[in-house]
């Protein structure tokens, strides 16, 4: 992938066709966007995970469209060529295709981002088709869908039994035929993710879904070790929380002892 050319949905499809892995990372502001892009991330996902990792909520349910627009606009200002995807938050698309369209229009017009992401499979296919037919790039998200945590009761793995596997396969095929441009697979068995990746024509993006997906995504705070704890499928590549705490506490000590300013 040519890192200097703007990434598009077509770029991601071509990468899949050439067996080239694509890297997605969440970003929530202009600083995280520019660092992630400089480090090689091709897609910046403004996830509604922001509710839990930045805004102090205990689930993604309280996140609003205004929150997402505020942060996505900042990410767009911080990127140069990455493809920026904004999560539509809970309650802003499930009611009807028209509601999803109105929310997507606000997001696209007020932020300048490239695509919206919605959670749900077969039951969201009509909405995805409605948006796709109106020119909107839609990323679908199945498997563990955090906006449904109250229904499922946990953030545990999905697709563990035959019935759930069969439904997830149907979900993947339904959203792909409805016109989704990419498909996030969260916290499902690796062999099921491999089967889904083989069954659909669009790029799959795994998080806790094994190595066969066409792309991988992680949450910024998890990857960098800023979160207090990570989901089991999200390794920390650094301990940035410790680095920040150490720097601030050394400065606090210097102020208290009169060593700062010199
Ligand atoms: O909200 C989010 O960050 C996400 C990713 C975990 C895929 O949806």
**In angstroms, what CA-CA distances link 205 with 75, 85, 92, 95, 114?**
20, 13, 23, 26, 17
Domains parsed from the chain with CATH numbers: 9-223 (3.20.20.60)
Could you tell which of 43, 46, 186, 224 is best to mutate to test the pocket of ligand 1, judged by most ligand atoms within 8 Å of the CB?
A: 186
Q: Ligand 1 pocket: which residues have CB below 6 Å?
A: 26, 45, 47-49, 87, 141, 184, 186, 207, 217, 219
Beta-carbon contacts of 179 under 8 Å, excluding residues fewer than 6 positions away, are 128, 129, 131, 132, 133, 138
* 186 is a catalytic site residue: yes
Q: How many CB atoms are located within 10 Å of the residue 204 CB?
A: 25
From 110, 186, 195, 262, active-site residue: 186
Question: Shortest CA distance to 144 belongs to which of 51, 233, 236, 42?
Answer: 233
Residue located nearest, by CA, to atom 3 of ligand 1? 47
> For 146-205, how does the pLDDT look when each residue is reduced to its tens digit (9 = 90+)?
999 999 999 999 999 999 999 999 999 999 999 999 999 999 999 999 999 999 999 999
> For 78-111, how does the pLDDT look when each residue is reduced to its tens digit (9 = 90+)?
999 999 999 999 999 999 999 999 999 999 999 9
> For 18-53, how does the pLDDT look when each residue is reduced to its tens digit (9 = 90+)?
999 999 999 999 999 999 999 999 999 999 999 999
User: According to the model, what pLDDT value does residue 2 have?
Assistant: 64
Q: Which atom of ligand 1 is nearest to the CA of 117?
A: 8
User: According to the model, what pLDDT value does residue 237 have?
Assistant: 98
Q: Are 18 and 28 in contact (CB under 8 A)?
A: no
Q: Are 172 and 196 in contact (CB under 8 A)?
A: yes
> For 45-68, how does the pLDDT look when each residue is reduced to its tens digit (9 = 90+)?
999 999 999 999 999 999 999 999
Mean local confidence (pLDDT), 202-228: 97
- Rounded Cα distance, 25 and 45, in Å: 6
User: According to the model, what pLDDT value does residue 3 have?
Assistant: 57
């Amino acid at each position: 992938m040519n890192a200097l050319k703007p990434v598009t949905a077509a770029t991601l499809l071509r990468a899949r066709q050439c067996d080239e892995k694509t890297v997605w990372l969440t970003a929530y502001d202009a600083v995280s966007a520019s660092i992630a892009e400089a480090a090689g991330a091709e897609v910046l996902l403004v996830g509604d995970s922001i509710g839990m990792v930045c805004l102090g909520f205990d689930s993604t349910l309280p996140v609003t469209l205004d929150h997402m627009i505020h942060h996505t606009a900042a990410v767009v200002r911080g990127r140069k060529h990455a493809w920026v995807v904004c999560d539509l938050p809970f309650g802003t698309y499930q009611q009807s295709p028209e509601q999803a369209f109105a929310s997507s229009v606000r997001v696209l017009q007020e932020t300048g981002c490239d695509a919206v992401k919605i959670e749900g499979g077969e039951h969201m296919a009509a909405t995805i088709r409605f948006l796709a037919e109106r020119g909107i790039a839609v990323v679908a998200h199945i498997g563990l869908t955090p906006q449904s945590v109250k229904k499922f009761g946990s953030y545990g793995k999905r697709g563990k039994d035959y019935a759930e596997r069969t439904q997830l396969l149907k979900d993947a095929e339904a959203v792909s035929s409805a016109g989704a441009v990419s498909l996030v697979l969260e916290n499902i068995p690796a062999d099921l993710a491999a089967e889904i990746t083989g069954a659909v024509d669009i790029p799959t993006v795994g998080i806790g879904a094994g190595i066969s997906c066409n792309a991988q995504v992680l949450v910024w705070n998890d990857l960098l070790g800023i979160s207090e704890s990570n989901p089991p499928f999200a390794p920390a590549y650094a301990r940035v929380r410790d680095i920040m705490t150490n720097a601030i506490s050394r400065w606090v000590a210097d102020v208290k002892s009169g060593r700062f300013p010199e």
